[in-house]
Structure 1
Amino acid sequence: MNRLISITRLLLLTGLLAAGGAHAEKRMVSVVVPPINQPATGQYYPGKFIWHDLFTDKLEDSVDFYQGMFGWEFRKFGPGERAYYYITSNGLGVGGLSQQDTNDGAENQWVSYISVDNVDAANNYVVQNGGKVLVSPRIFHQIGDVAIFADPEGAPFGVINSLSGDPREVFPHVGNWIWSDLFALNPKAQTEFYKGLADYTVMNNSASAITGDYFLQSNNVARGGVVLLPAEDIIPNWLPYVRVNNINDSIVKVTQLGGQVLLQPSMWIHSGKLAIISDPGGAALGVIEIGQP
């Protein structure tokens, strides 16, 4: 699948992945970036999505887009094509951005990382339960142990054990990540895969009229949803969402900044509103307007 090839090729190029395959000795990532949390929290919440990386061939356009959309700040580490852009929002580390070459037809995309207790154990679990290793476990200096996999339906995702702990359990500020949805061919089977990976509790979404709509919960907090693919031309994927103050204003900004609106605002849980957009490179993500609980 092109999107999987592209991620591996990109990480080889940037030095985030050393050649050697899934069974190579664990290596240190060459790019040095700040830790996720400053200061360290010392707290861990397995199953929580704590980091997101954008792989794109529209680097500068993407930086401008996300600065304009969410007020994100970007710090560049590493030279040239090996550069990694560390993203902060409201003073918190939330992800990174790297240049990729999509001449092979691969798509630009966000990859979301799940907090786990042990990345090596997660690697073994994925291999034994129908997934694929895209980036074998390695040490990302100051960030922690990381790896990238594809689940049994091919949706890419990452796992991470942060050296600085996980972000604290607080309701996300406007401009920060708030939710993730997995669009799946077989939602029930996928919930079982992720339950085994991160010890999630699987809950039926009672607010949904769709059969096979689930929540993944850990530490008594809903972390993300698993839903049936809405259309035949969409491939299985994780879609992350950012909290916004006013979804209608955000939709206007999307087109002004060179993005597209893929799904117009609709109602979400707890009287919230949800929309799906794409950035200038075509990478999809969602926006959610919701008040403080």
Structure 2
Amino acid sequence: MSQAETRHTPGTPCWVSLMVHGLAPTQEFYAALFGWEFRPGPASLGPYVRAVLDGAEVAGIGQLPPDRHLPIAWTTYLATDDADATAEAIRHCGGTVGVGPLDAGDAGRLVIASDPEGAVFGAWQAEAHVGNTVAGAPGTPVWNELVTRETSAVGKFYESVFGYEEEAVVSADFDYVTLHLDGRPVASLHGVGHALPRDKGAHWMTYFEVTDADAAARRVTELGGHVIKPPRDGSSGRVTTVADPEGAVFTLVRSAP
């Protein structure tokens, strides 16, 4: 498959990455939970590995310098054809660029930014590394959702920067918007009002597919993580929100057939 065929449409979530203090124990946790194996690189990002499932790269995990005390969280990367232009658009539309644009070796060019509500996300301009090439299999990221206070203003930000079309759920008590590209849903925005965690603020949530959400939640606990929201049936399937041993929060989903 050529790079042209696998290159993601700009705005599509194309990669998820996690920066932690303990790289080796974190690898052990996710290997036991998802069956991931790991390969090194790119070296320009410091100690960094790519998680591999059945030969396909599905996520990245890096090690923070000892003196960096950043929140431990999965970061969603959105595809771009021009990281520098995206960085300018982010600034112009009220976001903040925290890192970059910078080259990650020959893999690509990246930006890490935050939207006007403070949710951190990345933008990835692919070169040798196009990002995720598998979707739907257990152990792979299958959805990304922005959890924020309310969707209207921040929705305009993402629409302006990445060109999404929005489809809102028309409901007085449910603030939910699906983001579409070329008529296809690629991500969502969920406004939760005062239910937004005070210690976490607005954030992007990564959903990983599992074969059994209840068993996976138990496995997380056995491996030293903890369950934040117990398994429950949702519109997308059976879901549970969990945290790894360093506190990175993510959601496990057994997608509805």
Report the TM-score when normalising by structure 1: 0.78
User: Cα distance 1:247–1:98, how it changes in 2: closer, same or farther (>3 A)?
Assistant: same
Which residue, 203, 223, 227 being the options, matches 1:237?
203
TM-score by length of 2: 0.88
Q: In the alignment, which of 224, 229, 248 is matched to residue 263 of structure 1?
A: 229
Instruction: Tell me whether 1:288 sits opposite 2:253 in the alignment.
Output: yes
CA distance in 2, matches of 1:140, 1:105: 22
What percentage of aligned pairs have identical amino acids?
A: 25
Distance 1:74 1:39, change over 3 A: farther
Distance 1:177 1:283, change over 3 A: same
User: How far does residue 220 in structure 1 lie from its aligned partner after superposition?
Assistant: 2.2
CA contact (8 A) 1:155 1:236 kept: yes
Shift of 1:144: 1.4
- Which moves more between the two structures, 115-124 or 209-218? 209-218
For residue 171 of structure 1, report the CA deviation from its aligned partner: 4.6
Q: What SS does the corresponding residue of 1:213 show, helix, strand or coil? A: strand
Aligned-pair CA distance for 1:84? 1.0
Separation in structure 1 between the aligned mates of residue 47 and residue 182 of structure 2, nearest angstrom: 35
C-alpha displacement at 1:204, in angstroms?
1.3
Match of 1:223 among 183, 186, 194: 186
Match of 2:239 in 1: 274
Residue 266 of structure 1 and its aligned partner are, at CA, apart by: 1.9
- 1:280 is paired with a residue whose SS is coil
- Tell me by how many angstroms 1:231 deviates: 3.5
Partner of residue 118 from structure 1, selected from 70, 79, 82: 82
Partner of 2:61: 97
Deviation at 1:90, TM superposition (A): 3.0
Q: Which amino acid aligns with 1:215?
A: T
Greater alpha carbon shift after TM alignment, 119-128 vs 217-226: 217-226
Q: State whether structure 2 residue 13 is matched by structure 1 residue 58.
A: no
**Aligned counterpart in structure 1 of residue 118 of structure 2, from 126, 140, 154:** 154
Q: CA deviation at 1:198?
A: 1.0
- Cα offset for 1:162? 1.2
Runs of at least 5 residues in structure 2 that lack an aligned partner in the other structure: none
1:83 and 1:101 map into 2 onto residues whose CA distance is 9
CA deviations on 1:90-145 (whole Å, 9 max, x unpaired) are 32212211112576653211111001222111111111111111112122223212
Structure 1: 5+ residue stretches without partners? 1-37
Name the SS of the counterpart of 1:287 in structure 2: strand
Q: Which amino acid aligns with 2:226?
A: Q
Aligned to 2:214: 248
CA distance 1:185–1:145, shift in 2 (3 Å): same
Counterparts in 2 of 1:166 and 1:73: CA distance versus 1, 3 Å:
closer
Name the structure where strand makes up a greater proportion of residues.
2
- The separation in 1 between residues aligned to 2:146 and 2:160, in whole angstroms, is 16
Select 1:197's aligned residue among 161, 174, 185.
Answer: 161
Q: Is the 8 A contact 1:58 1:280 kept in 2?
A: no
Q: What secondary structure is seen at the aligned counterpart in 2 of 1:281?
A: coil
Q: For residues 2-81 of structure 1, what are the structure 2 equivalents within 5 Å?
A: 40-42=3-5, 43-77=7-41
Confirm or deny: 8 A CA contact 1:276 1:284 kept in the other structure.
yes
Q: 1:275 to 1:261 in 2, by over 3 A?
A: same
Query: What secondary structure, in the 3-state scheme, does the structure 1 residue paired with 2:247 have?
Result: coil
RMSD value, Cα = 2.3
**In the alignment, is the contact (CA less than 8 A) between 2:151 and 2:176 conserved in 1?**
yes
Q: Given the superposition, is the C-alpha separation of residues 249 and 240 from structure 1 closer, same or farther in structure 2, using an over 3 Å criterion?
A: same
2: distance between equivalents of 1:239 and 1:209? 24
The one-letter amino acid paired with 2:181 is: S
Quote the offset at 1:261 in angstroms: 0.4
